[in-house]
Copies of this chain bind each other. A is one copy, B any other.
Amino acid sequence: MTKRLFDIDPWLIRTHTLAKDDIRLQESLTAIGNGYMGLRGNFEEGYSGDSLRGTYYGGIWFPDKTRVGWWKNGYPEYFGKAINGPDFISMPLTINNVAIDLAKTPFHDFDLRLDMHNGVLHREFVVDLPESVQVKLSFDRFMSNAVKQAAMIKMTATVLSGQADIRVTSRLDSNVHNEDSNYEEMFWQELGQHADSNGASTLSVTTKPNPFGVPQFSLTLGMQNVLKSPAPETRTAEESSLLVQEDLAWHLATGESSTLTKYVTVVSSRDVPTEKQVSAINDLLKEVMDQGYDALLAAQNRIWAERWQMADVLIDGDDAAQQGIRYNVFQLFMTYYGDDARLNIGPKGFTGEKYGGATYWDTEAYIVPMYLSVTPSRVVRQLLEYRYNQLAGAYHNAQQLDLKGALFPMVTFDGIESHNEWEITFEEIHRNGAIAHAIAQYTDYTGDHSYVDDHGMAVLVGISRFWADRVFFSKRKGMYMIHGVTGPNEYENNVNNNWYTNTMATWTLRYTLKMLPEATAERLAELAVTDEEKAHWQDIIDRMYYPHDDELGIFVQNDTFLDKDIRSASTIPANQRPINQHWSWDRILRSPFIKQADVLQGIYFLNDEYTQEQKERNFDFYEPLTVHESSLSASIHAILAAELGKEEKAVDLYQRTARLDLDNYNNDTDDGLHITSMSGSWLAIVQGFAGMRQHADKLSFKPFLPKQWTKYQFAVNYRDRIIQITVTAAGTELRLLKGAALTVWLYDQPVALAAAD
C-alpha cells in the first residue's frame, strides 16, 4: 500500500513526473522551511488542480472557537491552530497570453528536485505553446538559514523556439484559506500595504480579533523583484484587498533567457512591534539584496555542511535507507534548530495544517533523545527552556482540573492547554512524565547540571506536585493508584493504573527528590518544598501500585487489560488495516490492539532499570499486540528488539519508520510530513542497530550490521566531542572527529578514544 513518488538518490528528492493524482503528497514531500517559516511544495505560477496550498510562520496561530458536542468542565475555551499565512511565492505567469498552469498547459522534460545538501527546491519544465513556441521555465527557492526572515525565489525563462511575451505577476497574497476551519472563515485582516514597482512592496496583515484574550499577531512581508537581461518592458505595481503585486512583462526571442529573482522578507509582532515592521522589512530587504542570491546561497551551503558534519548517517548497501535517513534529518532541521526558545516542533512542522502546528509531548519523547546527539547541546536546552517558560500555563492547566502543581498541556502554543477531548486533554497526563524525563536525559547526556539545578528544578517540582495530588490512596488495596488516564496507547481511554503512567509518576518523584539537594539556593527558597511534601512523595514512591502478572512475568498495561480477548495483531485481516481507518472507535477501544509503545515506552525510557528477562517477556507479550498506527511506535520497538537480539524484527520495524513519508506508508502524508516521528529512523539505527546507551556518565555501544547493509556510519555530539561510529562486517570503528580523549564502551568493554587531530 506504499506509494513512492521520488527516485532513490543519496542526496536528492527528485522526480521527472508531475504527480497529478498525488499532488498533495508531492507538495508535502517537497516542503521546505528554515525554523522561522516554511511552506509546502506549491507551485509559484499556481496550479488549478487539487492542491493544499500552505505557508506557515513559526509561532503565528489563532485561538478558534472550541467545537464540542457536550461541554465538560475543565475544557479550554479555544483550540489553537497555526494558520495558513500570507503566500509569498505566488507568481502567476503568462507566455503569449497563455496562463502557465501545469494542470492544463502541455509540458515535457519535467524535473523536480529538492537538494538535501542545502534545502534548495528546484523545478523545471518546458511548456509547449501555440505556434510551436517552446519555453523552458525553471524555479529555485530556499528559505535562508543565514537570514531567517528571508526567502529567495529565482525564476529563469529560456525560449527554445519561437517568440515569447512573458508576463509575471509577483505577489504577496494574504487571501489564503485554511482547510481546518470551522466555517470557512478567513483569519487575516489587512493593516496596510504599499505596492512599488521601483523599490520594495510591502503588505501588513493581522490575525483577526478573538474573544479569548490571546494577542493578535501582525505580520509584514516585503518583496522586491529583480529581472536580469532584459529589463522589463512594462512594470506596474498594484494593491488590492490583502494583496500587493508587481506586474513585469518582457519579450524573449529564440535562444534568449532571463532570470527574475524575488527577494522576500518577513517580520512579525513576535519580534518587531507592528508600527516598526515596515521599516524593519525594508532594512532586511536591503540587507539581503546587498548580499544577493548567490552569496545567500553560499552561506546556506556552509550552514548545512556544518549541520551535516555532526548529523549525517551514511548507509552502504541500501540506497533507499540512505535516502530515508537523510530526508528525516533534513526535514527535522528545516523545522527546528533551536533558534528560538518560543518555538517548538509540531507534528507536521511547516508542512500542513493537521494537528494545528502545536506542540505535543512528541518533542520530549522522540525528538530530544535524537537531538541531544545530532545538534549542539544548546538546541535541546532551548526545547527545555520552552517548557520552563510555559510553567505558569502548566499550573493553570492543573488548576482547570482542580489539581495542584503543573500539568503541561497535551496541545499548546503558549503553555495553555488548547485541545478538548476529555480522554486526551484531561487524561493523557503521562505527558508530564516525558517532560520531566527530558530534563534528566539532557542532564545525563550532556553532564551539564546547570539547567536542572535552576529552571529544570522548578519544572520538576511543579510536575511532582501534580502527581502527588493526582494519585489517590486506595484503602482497599492499601496502595496509591492513578485512575482515569489514557496511556501512550490511545486505543484505550480512561483506564485505571496504566503501568506506564504510574511508573513515570513515581520516576518523576524519585528524580525530583534526588536532584533537589543540588538545586540553587535561590530556587530552593522559591520552591519551598516542605519536609512533609518530600515525605509524602516518598510514601507514594514506596506504595505505588503497578499492575503486573506473575504468571506471564509482565507488567500489565492497566487494571483489566488481561481480561480482554488477547490475540495477535496478525489475526487482523490485511484489508482491515490500519484499524483506525476501518474499525469503529468503540471496537478499537475494546480490542486488545495497541497503537504504540505503552509498557514498552516505559522500558525504553528507564532502560537501565529492568532486567533482560523483564524486557524480553514484556516485548514478546506486547509487540505482537501492537498495530504501530502511530508513526511514533515502530522506532521504540525497533530499539528494544535490537537490544534483545531480535535483529530481523528490529530491521523490519525500522523499515516502517525509515521511509514513512517518502513511501507514504500510512497513506496520509498528503496532509503533511510526520515531522516529530522523523527522529524514529535515526533512533532505530543509533540506539537500535548500534545499541548506543548513555547512563551514569558512560556512553556505550553494542552494534550489529543489518544483513542488507555493508556499512553504516554516523556521528554523535557528546560532551563537546564529535564521535564517529562506523559499523561494517569487519567490526565497529570508533573515532573522535572533534574534542578531547574519552573512554566509551563497546560490547561492555572500555575503548579509549584518542583526541581528534
Contact = CB atoms under 8 A, between A and B. Distances in A.
A559 interface: yes
**Chain copies in the assembled complex:** 2
A69 B67 contact: yes
Contacts of A483: 560, 563-564, 590
Given A474-B563, A484-B589, A564-B474, A584 B401 contact: yes
Nearest to A68: B67
Interface string A51-80: 000000000000000111110111100010
Given A402-B584, A484-B590, A476 B68 contact: no
B496 A494 contact: no
A402 B579 CA distance: 12
Given A426-B585, A481-B563, A590-B484, A69 B493 contact: no
Contacts of A70: 421, 424
Nearest to A588: B73
A431 to B, nearest CB: 14
Interface in A564-604: 564-566, 580-590
Contacts of A400: 584
A179 to B, nearest CB: 14
A422 interface: yes
B585 A73 contact: yes
The 8 residue pairs across chains A and B that have the minimum distance between CB atoms: A74-B584, A72-B585, A426-B586, A494-B494, A67-B67, A401-B584, A484-B590, A474-B563
Contact of A427 (B68, B422, B586): B586
Given A422-B586, A484-B590, 5 more contacts: A67-B68, A69-B420, A72-B584, A400-B584, A402-B584
A581 B426 CA distance: 17
A295 to B, nearest CB: 47
Contacts of A79: 69
B496 A563 contact: yes
A475 B496 CA distance: 21
A740 interface: no
Given A402-B583, A589-B484, A477 B563 contact: yes
A473 interface: yes
Contact of A585 (B74, B580, B581, B583): B74
Contacts of A564: 472, 474, 483
Interface in A385-416: 400-403
A542 to B, nearest CB: 19
A182 B562 CA distance: 42
A396 to B, nearest CB: 13
A562 B476 contact: yes
A494 B589 contact: yes
